[in-house]
Chains A and B, each alone.
Chain A
Amino acid sequence: MLRIAILDDYQDVALSMADWSLLPKDAKVDRFGDNVKDETKLAERLQPYEVLIIMRERTLFSRSLIERLPNLKLLITSAGRNAAIDQAACKDRGITVCGTDAFGSPTAELAWGLLLALFKNITVEDRATREGKWSLGLTQTLEGRTLGVLGLGKLGQRLAEVGKAFRMDVIAWSQNLTDERCAEVGVRRVEKDALFREADAISIHLVLSDRSRGLVGARELGLMKPTAYLVNTSRGPIVDEAALVDALKNRRIGGAGLDVFDVEPLPADHPLRSMPNTVITPHLGYGTEENYRLYFGQAVENIVNWLAGKPVKEIAAPRQP
């Protein structure tokens, strides 16, 4: 019997997003909807499985965990990168690590959803309308305002292009951003502090690394306009969460749209769960229906190919930053 487990299937969708009957008859698939952080409990749960299907970076696969999983032979992660896997440890144990494709730029779409919800009071107005009220507040215009993009990679570029279509003034900064790259996307390169000072809305599109960790701290938040919004759909630790909570509580910035947090799932009693001037989502990022179909479909494909000794979508160990 081949035992397969799907982890962190929060929304209970994995089994309906692919044709699992393509797997051999002796394969048994279990799914888990809860997130387990305690390594001992996790090792106990995962110990029987030969194949694990994991979602992005929802569970950390450290060397010590990997070494406690004697049956594990194939580790499949959604998308083509997973910073939460110790790939060297997998290699030492002879575990094959593979990924899947990812579709489109849903994270940039989500960033726009959060930005627009903030500018247009969507969550507040919808709630009020359902409660029987009418017209609580003013909305704001995007056209002519300044959009600051932190990181001008593929996602940052998509965000910027939509900002330009809204006729916003788009500025960008990241550590190695060149004038050429900015010209290619058609945005203005500014220094880091200028971006925080000038923007009416800031959206983060950086990869988490030692360089980007804590990049948006109390000092940067202090530079922002008191009306400006911060949107983070990249990774929680890029923003100093405590400083952000403080800025939101004291209304030093206009508000925040957050899809990512330091600890995920966000603890139930976390102050960010109850801030008025925020729109918060549970790390939706790439997790769209289109992508889930792609991920789980290719996960099945990976298992079938691996069983047949055919090549699978192996992913290379990430470069050290």
Chain B
Amino acid sequence: MTRIAVLDDYLKIAPEVGGWDRLPDGASVDFFHDHLDEERAIIERCAPYDVIVLTRERTTFTRDLIESLPNLKLLITVSARNRKIDFEACRERGIPVCHTLQGSGPTSEHTWALILALYKNLLLEDRSMRAGEWGVAIGREVLGKRLGLVGLGKLGKKVARVGLAFEMDVVAWSPNLTDERAAEAGVKRVSKEELFATSDIVSVHIVLSDRTRGVVGRDDIARMKKTACLINTSRGPLVDEAALVDALRSGAIAGAGLDVYDQEPLPLDHPLRDMPNIVVTPHTGGFTRETYTLWYGGACENVLAWLNGKPIRILQPPK
């Protein structure tokens, strides 16, 4: 008997898209749709299982937790990266950590949905239309505005391409960005200071690591124009969230479009749940139906391969 648990499936989609009927007799899957924060509760829930499938980085797998799960034999994380697993503790226990393929692209599309919702006041206008009103705000145009991209990897480049199609002035910065790579994407490399001081829209597209944590700091936000907006669809801790809240409250910047936060789910009483000049979505940017199929279907394949004695897509500890 192999018991498998899928954690943090908020959308209740894992049962539908995983193709779990491919599992042999004797293997059973349980799905958990709520999120647990408290370690004792997590241990209690996970203790019976041989295989645990993690949905992104929603639950942290610490050494303590891993050592408290005697039955655990295989840990699977959806997508291609997970920085909330103690890999050393897994290695010591002989537990392989596997990953799935990663959907690409939708986060860059989500970025544009947030930018345009802000620029056209879509939420305010739609809400007031439903309340029986007509015309409450005036929007702005992205044409001719400066889009500043922090990070010009795969996603940053996709965002740049659309900015260029809207005839925006697109600039980029990242610690290792060269003039050549910027030029290849059709954008101009600028210094970090210039990016924050001159952009009308700043959007973050960088992988979270110890080096990039807080890459958008209080000083950077302070440099932004009063009319500028900040967009974050990458990871919450890339941005100094307290500094962002202060800037939004004081009107030091005009607005923000956010899909990611320091703590997710965003605490109920968090100020970002209730600000007029922002658009907030619950980390749904990367989560399209297409992506979920890739993830949970991939997790099922991981289980099958491991049952056959040949685990696939072993995840290496992050450097």
Contact = CB atoms under 8 A, between A and B. Distances in A.
Given A117-B113, A132-B268, A109 B120 contact: yes
A127 B138 CA distance: 20
A136 B123 CA distance: 17
Contact of A284 (B117, B120, B142): B120
Contact of B11 (A137, A158, A265): A137
A284 B11 contact: no
A39 B94 CA distance: 83
Nearest to B139: A288
Nearest to B124: A281
B137 A280 contact: no
B133 to A, nearest CB: 8
Contacts of B285: 120, 139
B134 A282 contact: yes
Interface string A261-279: 0001110100001100001
Interface stretch (B61-69, B75-83, B103-111): B103-111
B57 interface: no
Contact of A289 (B110, B129, B139, B166): B139
Interface stretch (A23-31, A83-91, A159-167): A159-167
B307 interface: no
A290 B140 contact: yes
B281 interface: yes
B162 A166 contact: yes
A40 interface: no
Contacts of A139: 106, 110, 284-285, 287-288
Nearest to B136: A11
B164 A104 contact: no
Contacts of A110: 116, 120, 139
A141 to B, nearest CB: 4
Nearest to B135: A10
A141 B109 contact: yes
Contacts of A136: 282
Nearest to A106: B141
B288 A287 contact: no
A120 B282 CA distance: 11
B232 to A, nearest CB: 14
A95 to B, nearest CB: 28
Contacts of A281: 120, 122, 125-126, 129
Interface in A6-32: 10-11, 13
A134 B282 contact: yes
Contacts of B123: 122-123, 126-127
A142 B166 CA distance: 17
A135 B11 contact: yes
Contacts of B264: 134
A126 B142 CA distance: 22
A109 B142 contact: yes
Contacts of A283: 135
B129 A273 contact: yes
A167 B282 CA distance: 25
Nearest to B104: A143
A121 B122 contact: no
Residue from the set B10, B116, B279 with the largest chain A CB neighbour count within 10 Å: B116
A90 to B, nearest CB: 27
A263 to B, nearest CB: 11
Given A281-B129, A282-B125, A120 B113 contact: yes
B266 interface: yes
A291 B138 CA distance: 10
A109 B162 CA distance: 11
Given A142-B109, A282-B134, A289-B138, A162 B165 contact: yes
A305 interface: no
Contacts of A112: 112, 116
Contacts of A116: 109, 112-113, 116-117
A121 B288 CA distance: 11
Contact of B281 (A125, A138, A273): A125
Contacts of A142: 106, 109
A287 B142 CA distance: 13
Given A135-B284, A273-B132, A288-B138, A113 B109 contact: no
A31 to B, nearest CB: 14
A281 B130 CA distance: 10
Contacts of A178: none
A287 B120 contact: no
Contact of B13 (A103, A138, A266, A290): A138
Contacts of A126: 117, 123, 279-281
Contact of A109 (B13, B116, B126, B292): B116
A292 interface: yes
A135 B283 contact: yes
Contacts of B120: 109-110, 113, 281, 284
Contacts of A288: 138-141
A130 interface: yes
Interface string A62-81: 00000000000000000000
12 contacts: A109-B119, A110-B120, A122-B122, A129-B281, A138-B288, A141-B290, A142-B106, A162-B165, A265-B135, A266-B129, A280-B126, A287-B138
- CB-CB nearest 10 A-B residue pairs: A113-B116, A10-B135, A116-B113, A265-B134, A165-B165, A134-B265, A120-B113, A268-B132, A104-B143, A282-B135
Interface of B: 10-11, 13, 103, 105-106, 109-110, 112-114, 116-117, 119-120, 122-123, 125-130, 132-144, 161-162, 164-167, 264-266, 268, 273-274, 279-285, 287-292
Given A109-B142, A120-B110, A282-B135, 14 more contacts: A11-B138, A103-B141, A104-B141, A110-B116, A116-B109, A123-B117, A126-B117, A127-B127, A132-B273, A134-B10, A139-B110, A139-B288, A141-B288, A289-B138
